[in-house]
Structure formats: structure tokens, C-alpha cells
Structure 1
Amino acid sequence: MTQSHGMLFVATNIGAEDEADFNQWYDHEHVEERVAIRGFLSGTRYQAIHAERKYLGLYETEALEAFTSADYHAAFTRQTEWSVKNLQKMVNPMRRVSAVTHKHGKGTGTHLAVVTLKALDASVLTAWQQQISHTPGYVASGLLTPDVVLSSPLPMESKGQRQMLPMLLIHCSDASSCDQLAAHAAELMTGDVQRYAFSWQLTKQELAHG
């Protein structure tokens, strides 16, 4: 049986006065630090089109075990001063460590929909993915199921009522397709839609080749 990939989902707002430094930190230190950890495959940044939090970072790993490794633990015990400063300035952040299942299609689109599901019927999800396989603009989709133990909160994250709901990620090549597919999925499976645009991505292969 193929082992499920893991994914770290981090979304946050940031004050206007801290935004420039926050993006410099993310783009020139944080993503590279995380992707360099053993078992990490990529780090991808998004900006909100219509979402509660402006910035989203997705870090895919070979398996959930990457988040219990000594390398990952070391990343938390050896935070740089720049990291500590920016983590403390996050506004209403959300951190979830999830198993990635129901992967369908291939690639990363310029547009992303995050559909937070109230409940999950796997057969309905599978049927929906098969139905929209050849829809123009559709690239790929997958389900994130948060791990309660591994999804410890960020320093500025609220510690109470942290819902661990499944999230359907839908990657598309254009905005219109993403909006339509997300609306259809949300209606069919009862969910709330957040919409993001791709910013940039760093893969392990790119890091290894300098």
C-alpha cells in the first residue's frame, strides 16, 4: 500500500506595517529552511483572492512521519531571530499538519480553492473527481485530513475551538474554472470555499541543484 504524503498548511494575516519584512523572511529564509528538512518535497506560497487569511503556505512531505523526525524537531529548537520575530507578528494564524489522500490529477495550478468540508463521504468525493476529470481548467485535487496531535498551534494562534476539518484542495489553470469547480464541490459536499492565487514554489530538486 502506498504511504500517504503529508502536508503542512499554514495560513495567516499580517499587519500592513510588518508585511514587507514578513514576505522577505518567507521568500528568502523560511521556505528554503523548511524544504531543506529531510522528507520535505516542496514549499508553495499563495495569496488570497477571497479568503479569511491573506497568505497561505503549503509544504508537502513524503509522509506524516516527516513531522515527527529529529530534523523537523531541530527546525523548531533552532529558530533564527528573524523567524521568531515574524512568527510573533502573525495575525490569526492557522496551522494544520495533514495526511494527503484522494490525490487526483497531476500538477500545481495558478489558482487554488480550499474547500473546508463539514463532513466527508469518500465515495461522493471520488465520484466528483471522476466527473470533473476533463473539465477545462482543472489540474488536480486532493484531500487534507488534519492530524490532531501533529497540528500544534503557532505562537499567535488561538488555542481554543481549533476545528480539525478535512480540506479539499482544487488546483486549476484559470480563475473561472476554479470558482466553478469549488462552488460545485462545496454544494455537493457541504463546505466553505477560500480562494487563492499561486505566488511561487520551491521543490527539493531545485534546492539540491542550487
Structure 2
Amino acid sequence: MTQPDRAILCATLTLRKCDEENFVAWHTREHLPERLAIPGFLRGRRFECTDATRCYLILYDVESLSVLSRPDYLDRLNNPTIWTRAILPTFQDGRRAAYRLLAKAGNAEGAFVMMVSARPSDALELKKEITPELLDGWCTRPGIARITFAEPDQTASMHVTEESRRSGNRFAEEWIILVEGISEEHLRDFARNEFTASRCYSWGLAGHESWKTYGLQVSVAEV
């Protein structure tokens, strides 16, 4: 199914062990509810990398890319709370981007997600190859709940705000495929079968360096 208007805000970051507990409390108790209170934010989720590197994946589903350029959202970014101001400098290797949702399949939510990053040499060819029909077929594989394909939008990603200055987040320019499943094993089996050598080459995937698997910690949806 194509999704011409929907968008995703995606961020990854790592933390030192001494900062982790405070980050989890802040993001769960303050930041997620704060973002979901902004009109156009539909759902927020936080995942932790399963390889124990203290790496986090944060995903927000929004109604459209325009939500991420509206005054109410930018005002929030330029007026962070005291807790947010204290947390943002602890981010390490932060990467963030707004993504235009090109296609998705599956209506369930997986407990695990594999984020696959692509640097295509031919973006138009990648769009032709990763079709809604392909994603529908992928979702019939055992243990796969949902798959999303999205491209980064630099304009919606690059607003200079107080939060961006404090966090030091860099723009994540890779295209992404988010594969949600019921277990790490199912995601690994999927990757072995579908991310073949020829696809890795043509889509700009650098083997296992291009994807990581994360487990869901918390999810907040619009009520």
C-alpha cells in the first residue's frame, strides 16, 4: 500500500552507561508524551539495540512531512524543558532525519525491528524495485508483521533549533527499510533470504553493516 502523505521521524543515538537511566526516564515520562501532544504526531516508539551497545532507535509516525515544519513543533524544539536541556548533550553519535513514507505492508506491530539503511546509486531504480507488491510478499514470510520503505527529506530534517544545537545530531541521509517481526530469529531469517548479494549491491547495502536489530521498550499512541 502506498502512503503518499504519511511520514516518519527517525533518530538513532548511543549513550554512556552513566547517562542511560536518566535518558530512559526522561524519554518515557516527558519527551514521548510531549511529542504526542503536538498535532499531527500519531505514535512514538523507543527501541533498544539487541547487541547491548546502549544504542537506541526512536520512531515517530506523523501525518505528513509538513507537521515537522509547523510553528507549534518548531516552537517546542526552540523551547526545550529544563530536563531536555540537561539530557541532549549526553547524546553520542546522534543521527536524525524526517522520512517520506513511500510504501508499507502489514498492519501489525512487531516486538522487534530491523532498520536497514540504503545508499542507492540510482534512487529512481530503487523506487521501481521496492514496490508495494514486493512488501506485500515480504509480509507473508514467517514472523514478519510490518515493513516500511521511506526516503529522507532534507528540508524537513534540517531545521536549526535550540534542540538541534544542544544534541549535535547529524542528518541521516540513508534511505531506510524497517522490517518488524515477532523475534530476532525471524528477522535474521528474513534478511538472509531477501537481502541477497545482488540486492545489497544494487540497493547500496553494505552487508550486515547496513542493518541493526532493536527490541521495543515503549510505545505511545495518539488517544
Query: Unpaired segments of 5 or more residues in structure 1?
Result: 206-210
1:157 aligns with one of 145, 153, 168? 168
1:29 aligns with 2:34: no
Q: Is the CA contact (8 Å cut-off) linking 2:4 and 2:101 kept in structure 1?
A: no
Question: Which runs of structure 2 are paired with 1:121-160 in the superposition (5 Å)?
Answer: 121-126=126-131, 128-152=134-158, 154=164, 155-157=166-168
Q: Is the CA contact (8 Å cut-off) linking 1:170 and 1:182 kept in structure 2?
A: no
Alignment root-mean-square deviation, CA: 2.1
**1:111 corresponds to which residue?**
112
Supply the AA of the counterpart residue of 2:41. Answer: F
**Aligned partner of residue 80 in structure 2, secondary structure:** coil
**1:198 corresponds to which residue?**
216
Supply the AA of the counterpart residue of 2:7. Answer: G
Q: Moved runs in structure 1, 4+ residues, more than 4 A?
A: none
TM-score in terms of structure 1 length: 0.88
Supply the AA of the counterpart residue of 1:136. Answer: P
Residues 36-74 of structure 1: CA distance to partner in whole angstroms, max 9, x if unpaired? 101000000100014876111101101101001111011
Question: Which runs of structure 2 are paired with 1:35-114 in the superposition (5 Å)?
Answer: 35-50=36-51, 54-114=55-115
Alignment partners' CA distance in 1, 2:135 and 2:148: 9
The share of aligned pairs that are identical, in percent, is 21
Alignment partners' CA distance in 1, 2:139 and 2:85: 43
Q: Is the CA contact (8 Å cut-off) linking 1:115 and 1:185 kept in structure 2?
A: no
**1:208 corresponds to which residue?**
none
1:189 aligns with 2:199: yes
**1:7 corresponds to which residue?**
8
Q: Is the CA contact (8 Å cut-off) linking 1:182 and 1:193 kept in structure 2?
A: no
* Count of aligned residue pairs for this structure pair: 203
The CA deviation at 1:145 is: 0.9
Q: Is the CA contact (8 Å cut-off) linking 1:92 and 1:156 kept in structure 2?
A: no
